[in-house]
Amino acid sequence: MRILSLLLLVTLWSCNGQKQESVSPVRKDLTQAVYASGKIFPKDNYKLFAKLPGYVQEIHVRVGDTVTAGQAMITIRSEVSELNVAAAKNQYALAASNASDDGPILPSLRAEVTAAKSKRASDSVNVARFTALLATNATAVNTLDQAKVAFENSKAQHARAEGNYHATRLRVQTEAQNAKLQLDAQTSNRNEYIIAAVSPGRVYDIVPKIGDFVNSNKAIMELGNATAFQVELNIDETDIALIKPGQNIVYEIDAYEGKTFNGTVDHIYPRIAALDKTALVIGTLEQGNAQWYSGMSLEANIVIDTKKNILVIPREFISAENTVKVKGKDEPVKVTTGLKDLRYVEILSGVNEQDILVK
């Protein structure tokens, strides 16, 4: 609650000469509000974190720069990542060489296939020649049988050479493909060290400096909307039930002493923080002619209710039992109260404007 009106106090002197404060109820406008403290942040405010640990190699922007979505913000270098990429490159180069038709593996296997094929062809000719000779009794049967055995062996050897060549070729090609995938993965992993903006906006803070070690546990940069701002307010859990979207907010900002700014309740977070028993409320903030900075402190009054021309008295004149002391009456008078702010309380019944209240 905030002080929103003033009431004239009358100073009386008792018969023994002691000063005595008194007041009569008066009619005035009264506004009830919930007090809150908070800070100004740009809309769509977010923080960037390093995905993997490493050292800051380069910072591509400065605080205050306007950036686009996907723009590189910080490059982080990791020796482990670089070594992994180098190892993956070497592995892929070796696998690609082995898979090449002119590499160290396939040419020798093709030569074995060619030799086996030639041997099979030669043995096939021998079988035909000895068959013809046997028909004219120019050779023995066992000679032809030996030629046939040699042919069957060379045919089998040719088949094995062919099979070995094709199996080895498939294997080295698969190894080359896997090595390429591994290289792509390591290269992509290295790209994770280039931290980019998620959405367009302005850079409001850069935490590390070049050469600093960073990891995923601490934010390295803060970004947000370049022109639109909002307020994050902490509302005590005893007051949160009074807050509703659309309610007017009056702000007092430390940097602009004596001035007030307006806004409305935009969003209420449906949880109470365990540490300080407060709820987070997001409020809009009219720009006006002020210059906002991310993290500015402020105080706020969220207007809950306003009544016109109601009977009020200062709160210090009413007891915890809702009684007041009326001049000329020996016993305290019970009153019915209504709207309240930090200093005043509405009187619904019990006293009127002609009564004089004393402490």
What's this model's pTM, rounded to 2 decimal places?
0.57
Q: What is the pLDDT of residue 189?
A: 66
Q: Consecutive sets of 10 residues in the chain, 359 residues long: mean pLDDT of each? A: 37 43 91 91 93 89 96 86 83 94 94 96 95 91 94 96 96 95 79 84 95 91 94 94 94 90 95 93 89 93 91 93 93 92 88 92
Alpha carbons 311 and 346: distance in angstroms, whole number: 6
> What CATH number has the domain spanning 10-43+228-358?
2.40.30.170
Tokens of 113: 């296939």
Q: What is the pLDDT of residue 54?
A: 87
Alpha carbons 47 and 236: distance in angstroms, whole number: 26
Q: What is the pLDDT of residue 84?
A: 80
Q: What is the dihedral of CA 334, 338, 339, 340, to 10 degrees?
A: 20
SS (H, E, C) the chain: CCCCCCCCCEEEECCCCCEEEEECCEEEEEEEEEEEEEEEEECCCEEEECCCCEEEEEECCCCCCEECCCCEEEEEECHHHHHHHHHHHHHHHHHHHHHCCCCCCHHHHHHHHHHHHHHHHHHHHHHHHHHHHHHCCCCCHHHHHHHHHHHHHHHHHHHHHHHHHHHHHHHHHHHHHHHHHHHHHHHHHHHCCEEECCCCEEEEEECCCCCCEECCCCEEEEEECCCCEEEEEEEECCCHHHCCCCCEEEEEEHHHCCCEEEEEEEEECCCCCCCCCEEEEEEECCCCCCCCCCCCEEEEEEEEEEEEEEEEEEHHHCCCCCEEEECCCCCCEECEEEEECCCEEEEEECCCCCCCEEC
Q: What is the pLDDT of residue 6?
A: 35
Tokens of 75: 């490059």
Architecture of domain 46-76+193-223 in this structure: Beta Barrel (2.40)
